[in-house]
Amino acid sequence: MSFKELPIMPDKSKGVMLFYPYVSKKSSSNLKKKLSSRWLGQGPMVDKFENKFKKMFANKCSAIATGSGTDSLHLAYILAGLKKNDEVITTVFTCTATNIPLLYMGIKIKFADVEKETMNISVESVKKLISKKTKAIICVHYGGLPCDMKNLRALAKKYNIPVIEDAAHAIGATYDGMPIGSISEFTTFSFQAIKHFTTGDGGMLTVKNKKLEGKAKRIRWFGIDRAKKQKGTWENDVNEVGYKYQMTDISATMGYDSLLEFKSILSHRQKIFNVYLKNLSPNKKVFCVNDYDSKKTHAAWLFTILIDNKDFLQKKLREYSIETNQVHFRNDRYSIFKKFTKNKKFKNMDYLENRYLVLPLHHKVTVSMAEYICKLINKFV
């Protein structure tokens, strides 16, 4: 069997899975209560989850819970005022969820290259692409490592455009002492199954301009003003196109329970991240994706290494029942983005494409497991 034919490891495997969903043990009983309550769809638990999230990560912003991280991204693009044929700069390396909503909207995508050391969007590449036609910069904090927010925001300020942060990997990260979620005009988060914690699926959008909160909540629910409707003062009109992007109370219950435990979730992930870093960084044939910037706190969603013999290592680790993979892939290789990539070169992405490999990092990975994985990597590389 070649590495390209490696299937997902079965649930009952005794090995180390690449991902494992985090659900609070409290959620079982709390969901049982919720299931026998009046509110299953969007209700008071969504408000409670939003308020808790806002206090933890974006106190001076509005927080709007959604059905997915992708919903949050689309909502952010709408609130940013992006329209058909607008030009937007985004990263070539991310989950397609970052960029597919731009296709919904008929927006012209200008892909920026990434940095070799971080796999985050390259400020130098953005500088070459930005113009008076640019309407927004979208960045993704790959693996939980914040982008160069100082220089990205300086560019955005110069051209009077918003920065939209895709922080699907970066809940708990900070930049220059500020939580990711409180820095830019719009920041989106994901609670999909394999993120730091899951709500089954779900997302959050934080918005700096609180005047946009009402609009965000209307667009999240068909364009309807739910607060007025529930007070009986709704005039039965919808004057803006909305979507079914709301979170349910079932999801919010799971999310709220995990937020109460988030400090320990993040601490454990950072501990495992540092075990990998300590044991692998001395190996000159292994580069650990990190920039060691003291202004940044890494959220430790992914631990990624760069090696010349990635395929060989992936196959050898699977022989020891250790699951690894690439997780995300460069977007310029997908047919749906072809019209934006003709004759475009991404030198750093080309270098990284066949070198990066993601190691297991979640609440079920122990220190001893991580040390064992490092021992095998150092043996084979």
Average pLDDT, the chain: 95
For residues 301 and 366, state if they share a domain.
yes
Is residue 74's pLDDT more than 80? yes
The CATH number given to whatever domain includes residue 182 is 3.40.640.10
Q: What is the pLDDT of residue 229?
A: 76
What own/partner pairs with CB < 8 Å and gap ≥ 24 does 104-108 have?
104/74, 105/74, 105/77, 105/78, 107/77, 107/82, 107/83, 108/340
Can you give the pTM of this predicted structure? 0.95
For residues 173 and 33, state if they share a domain.
yes
What is the length of the chain?
Answer: 381
Q: What is the pLDDT of residue 3?
A: 46
For residues 245 and 284, state if they share a domain.
no
16 within domain boundaries: no
From residue 90, give the alpha-carbon distance in Å to each of 82, 166, 226, 317. 14, 10, 33, 34
312-322 pLDDT tens trace: 999 999 999 99
Q: What is the pLDDT of residue 230?
A: 74
For residues 286 and 223, state if they share a domain.
no
Band the pLDDT of 5: cuts 50, 70, 90.
Answer: low
The answer to whether the CB of 366 falls within 8 A of the CB of 268 is no
41-57 pLDDT tens trace: 999 999 999 999 999 99
6 within domain boundaries: no
Is residue 29's pLDDT more than 60? yes
Is residue 135's pLDDT more than 50? yes
Domain count, the chain: 2
More confident residue, 325 or 234: 325
Of 37, 27, 96, give the one whose Cα is nearest residue 329. Answer: 96
215 within domain boundaries: yes
15 within domain boundaries: no
The answer to whether the CB of 328 falls within 8 A of the CB of 381 is no
Is residue 363's pLDDT more than 50? yes
19 within domain boundaries: no
Is residue 365's pLDDT more than 50? yes
161-210 pLDDT tens trace: 999 999 999 999 999 999 999 999 999 999 999 999 999 999 999 999 99
1 within domain boundaries: no
59-72 pLDDT tens trace: 899 999 999 999 99
What's the mean pLDDT in 324-331?
97
End-of-domain residue from the set 228, 260, 292: 260
d(CA 158, CA 363): 42
263-295 pLDDT tens trace: 999 999 999 999 999 999 999 999 999 999 999
For residues 230 and 199, state if they share a domain.
yes
For residues 93 and 79, state if they share a domain.
yes
For residues 134 and 185, state if they share a domain.
yes
What's the mean pLDDT in 339-354?
97
Q: Residue 227, Cα to own-chain centre: how many angstroms?
A: 30
Q: What is the pLDDT of residue 187?
A: 98
For residues 289 and 156, state if they share a domain.
no
End-of-domain residue from the set 232, 260, 288: 260
Q: What is the pLDDT of residue 1?
A: 35
For residues 223 and 278, state if they share a domain.
no
More confident residue, 7 or 114: 114
Is residue 234's pLDDT more than 80? no
End-of-domain residue from the set 260, 293, 324: 260
11 within domain boundaries: no
For residues 297 and 234, state if they share a domain.
no
For residues 227 and 297, state if they share a domain.
no
For residues 138 and 217, state if they share a domain.
yes
- Expressed as residue numbers, the domain containing 343 is 262-380
Q: What is the pLDDT of residue 12?
A: 62
Which parts of the chain fold into alpha helices (H)? Answer: 27-35, 44-57, 69-79, 100-104, 123-129, 149-159, 213-220, 226-230, 249-260, 262-280, 310-319, 347-352, 367-380
Beta strands 178-179; 174-175: pairing state: antiparallel
Q: What is the pLDDT of residue 14?
A: 80
102 within domain boundaries: yes
Band the pLDDT of 2: cuts 50, 70, 90.
Answer: very low
The CATH number given to whatever domain includes residue 367 is 3.90.1150.10
